[in-house]
Structure 1
Amino acid sequence: MIKGIGVDVVDLARFTRQVERTPGLISRLFAQSERGLPVRSLAARFAAKEALIKALGDSAGATWHELEIVNDQHGNPEFQLSGAALRAVHDRGISRVHVTMTHDGGVACAFVVAEGES
């Protein structure tokens, strides 16, 4: 059963300007494992984090680092949640979070589906 759906779009040029103007932004928004990626990939991950918050209905007090995105053994993105983010998912009866991300034509986009039992 679908418990929540979220989508977010990030303008790559605007995101790049924000990162250049605010040097601490990368460390504030991304876990250590996410840093060092190209800006377009960071923008897609930011969109995914925002999409998850929308799928949950709110941020539930979670920090950006608790919404870490890693790649599974096949290279597909997945959330590695911790802290308040993990509690929020469990409290809402969510057993699986699906995420897909893309970037093209100056835009990064992510779509999240939160799934659980009825």
Structure 2
Amino acid sequence: MIKGIGVDIVEISRIEQAINRRSKFTERLFTDLERDYCLSKQKPHLHFAARFAAKEAAVKALGSGMRGMKWTDFEVRRDKWGRPYLRLSGNAANAAQERGVCDIFLSLSFSREAAIASAIAVGME
């Protein structure tokens, strides 16, 4: 059963500027695994932007806002086929459990100017 849907779009230039201006920007928003993945790419800012959009979309799909959560409570990973999926921890995992959400499906994409993500929160009931 669908519990919530979220979509977010991010201007890639804003993420790139934030990365260049603020030394702790990526540490505050992304886990070690996410940073390692993005920094392994030729244009890391594209992948950081897509992951940030995914986190925003997931928050919207949960319908909880960021109350007590950290951005690192939402970790975008990739399965063996390269498909993105979300690993929740901390207060994000608690919020999902309270709302009966057992999984959040993701779709990510980007162009030169923007990154977009959609998230669908699903539960058993």
Q: Displacement, 1:105?
A: 3.3
Which residues of 2 match residues 18-97 of structure 1 at below 5 A? 18-36=18-36, 37=38, 38-57=44-63, 58-97=65-104
**1:62-110 deviations in whole A, cap 9, x for unaligned?**
1111101111121111111111111111110011110011111310000
Q: Partners in 1 of 2:55 and 2:80 — Cα distance? A: 21
Which secondary structure does the structure 1 equivalent of 2:108 belong to? strand
Does the Cα contact within 8 Å between 1:60 and 1:88 map onto a contact in 2? no
Q: Displacement, 1:49?
A: 0.3
TM-score normalised by L of structure 1: 0.95
Does the Cα contact within 8 Å between 1:10 and 1:47 map onto a contact in 2? yes
**Which aligned runs of 4 or more in structure 1 are off by greater than 4 angstroms?**
none
Q: Displacement, 1:28?
A: 0.5
Which residues of 2 match residues 1-20 of structure 1 at below 5 A? 1-20=1-20
Q: Partners in 2 of 1:72 and 1:82 — Cα distance? A: 18
TM-score normalised by L of structure 2: 0.90
Which secondary structure does the structure 2 equivalent of 1:88 belong to? helix
Residue of structure 2 in register with 1:98 after alignment: 105
Q: Displacement, 1:19?
A: 1.2
CA RMSD of aligned residues (A): 1.0
Does the Cα contact within 8 Å between 1:5 and 1:55 map onto a contact in 2? yes
Deviates more, 1:87-96 or 1:56-65: 56-65
Does the Cα contact within 8 Å between 1:60 and 1:85 map onto a contact in 2? no
Q: Partners in 1 of 2:49 and 2:35 — Cα distance? A: 11
Aligned residues: 118
Of all paired residues, the percent bearing the same amino acid is 40
Does the Cα contact within 8 Å between 2:15 and 2:48 map onto a contact in 1? no
